[in-house]
Amino acid sequence: MIAANRPQSGSRLLSLDAQGLLREVSATQLPRLLRRGDVVVANDAATLPASFHGVHLPTGEAIEVRLAGKLDDDAARFVAIVFGAGNYRTRTEHRAPPPLLRAGDRLLLGSLVAEVERSIDHARVIALRFVASEAELWSGFAAHGKPIQYAHVVEPLKLWDVWTRAATMPMAFEPPSAGFALTWKMLDDFAARGTEFATLTHAAGISSTGDAELDKRLPFDEAYVIPESTVRAIRRAKAEGGRVVAIGTTVVRALEHASRNGTLRAGRGVATNRLGPGTKLKLVDAIVSGVHAAGESHYELLKAFATGEQLQKMTEVLELRGFCNHEFGDFVLIEREQSRTTTCVFADGNARMRYSNRGQQEGLRS
């Protein structure tokens, strides 16, 4: 696969439909692959400038802190990955380790000071708390934070490179990159074809820590918020036999987590679920994703939608056709295999409806 080394350079889309047929189109043609009554759900989280270069004050050593997750609602507390001296141009797996990080150590990050609360089962993972007011926190992020970046992209990223067109609340630690497929023109095209567009906000976490053992623990828990209007749009689509098309794995994770008890609920949640070959999808019928090489964790997620054999075939075509991978690359659309049915149940007055991915519905007494 060719690594996309410039921001938002993806332009092609390979679709794998429910019958296992492959088709290549321009990414702008996505609306033509969808149907009247489908609902497209995107992650509208804006990306935080979550990388901070600074100093470990007890030793005076240079460090890079990458915010990677939240522990609670405290705006100043984060889970962070810490590297020693160096920057994104060195591949994460070759980055120097940080100095020994102890509870109470202070880190100077631009105008911000953070305190190490504790290390979390790994020399490079800590809970930290910024010693700052809310105003200082945001102005400090704005002034000194940089988007988290990896070696395959050469030029330093700016915030505008990592915000999708839908970006709203700055909650994501890395971009919800499937959302780079979306344009305002595309939203108009969805509307013209009778496809609804809805969003949720999901704090997409980091994709790589540079440590194979640690990477196995990804994704960390991720906070999300699902608006009432999105639940209504999904309910409408399902009632009319439409499909739920998730733009990105974060959307799948949030929707499947929020409907884990059988009913999709609006509001806040913390996704702790993992997607993979064994996942029985309750709600989502299709996914738009970036291109991922076999073996990457994202590739495994796609096995919730298609068999390993189908994905293998798809990967061969992606290779052959020179698709670009990574966060700024091309896209795939994968419809769930026809035999796998969705099982989400909506509480709707007294009647309960059960849906399958073919849009059949049956009334159930509650």
Partner 1 sequence: MATSNDLSGLRVAVTGGTSGLGLALTRAFRKRGAAVAIVARTAEAVERVARETGAAGIVGDVGVKDDIYPIALQINGRLGGLDVLINNASSLGPVPLRLLGDTDCEDLEEAIAVNLVGPFRLTKALLGALAASAREGRGAVVLNISSDAAVNAYAGWGAYGASKAALKHLSAIWNEEQAAHGVRVLSLDPGDMDTALHALAVPDADPASLKRPETSADELIAAIVAALPPQRAAQPVGGYA
Positions that interact with partner 1 (CB under 8 A): 44, 46, 48-49, 134-135, 138-139, 141-143, 158-160, 163-170, 184, 187-188, 191, 197-199, 227-230
Task: Report whether 37 contacts 354 (CB < 8 A).
Answer: no
Nearer to partner 1, 185 or 321 (CB): 185
Nearer to partner 1, 230 or 342 (CB): 230
Nearer to partner 1, 130 or 305 (CB): 130
Least distance (Å) from partner 1 to the CB of residue 1? 29
Nearer to partner 1, 24 or 189 (CB): 189
Least distance (Å) from partner 1 to the CB of residue 160? 5
Question: Using CA atoms, how far apart are residues 7 and 158, in angstroms rounded to an integer?
Answer: 9
Task: Report whether 107 contacts 63 (CB < 8 A).
Answer: yes
Q: Residue 214: in which H helix or E strand, if any?
A: helix 212-215
Least distance (Å) from partner 1 to the CB of residue 240? 19
Least distance (Å) from partner 1 to the CB of residue 141? 7
Q: Cβ–Cβ contacts within 10 Å for residue 258, how many? A: 26
Task: Report whether 41 contacts 286 (CB < 8 A).
Answer: no
Residues 26, 30, 34, 37, Cα dihedral to 10°: -160
Least distance (Å) from partner 1 to the CB of residue 270? 18
Question: Using CA atoms, how far apart are residues 156 and 209, in angstroms rounded to an integer?
Answer: 19
Least distance (Å) from partner 1 to the CB of residue 235? 15
Nearer to partner 1, 18 or 46 (CB): 46
Task: Report whether 97 contacts 124 (CB < 8 A).
Answer: yes
Nearer to partner 1, 14 or 198 (CB): 198
Nearer to partner 1, 136 or 240 (CB): 136
Least distance (Å) from partner 1 to the CB of residue 5? 21
Nearer to partner 1, 110 or 277 (CB): 110
Closest CA relative to residue 107, chosen from 157, 148, 67:
67
Which pairing describes strands 286-290 and 244-247: parallel, antiparallel, or unpaired? parallel
Backbone angles phi, psi at 286, to 5 degrees: -155, 155
Question: Using CA atoms, how far apart are residues 144 and 151, in angstroms rounded to an integer?
Answer: 20
Q: Residue 83: in which H helix or E strand, if any?
A: strand 77-83
* 224 burial level (CB within 10 Å; 0-12, 13-18, 19+): buried
Residue type, 254: A
23 contacts: CB under 8 Å, gap ≥ 6: 14, 15, 17, 33
Q: Cβ–Cβ contacts within 10 Å for residue 269, how many? A: 18
Question: Using CA atoms, how far apart are residues 216 and 212, in angstroms rounded to an integer?
Answer: 7
Nearer to partner 1, 100 or 143 (CB): 143
Nearer to partner 1, 179 or 210 (CB): 179
Least distance (Å) from partner 1 to the CB of residue 49? 7
Least distance (Å) from partner 1 to the CB of residue 263? 21
Q: For the chain, how far is it from start to end, CA to CA, in angstroms? A: 50
Least distance (Å) from partner 1 to the CB of residue 103? 28
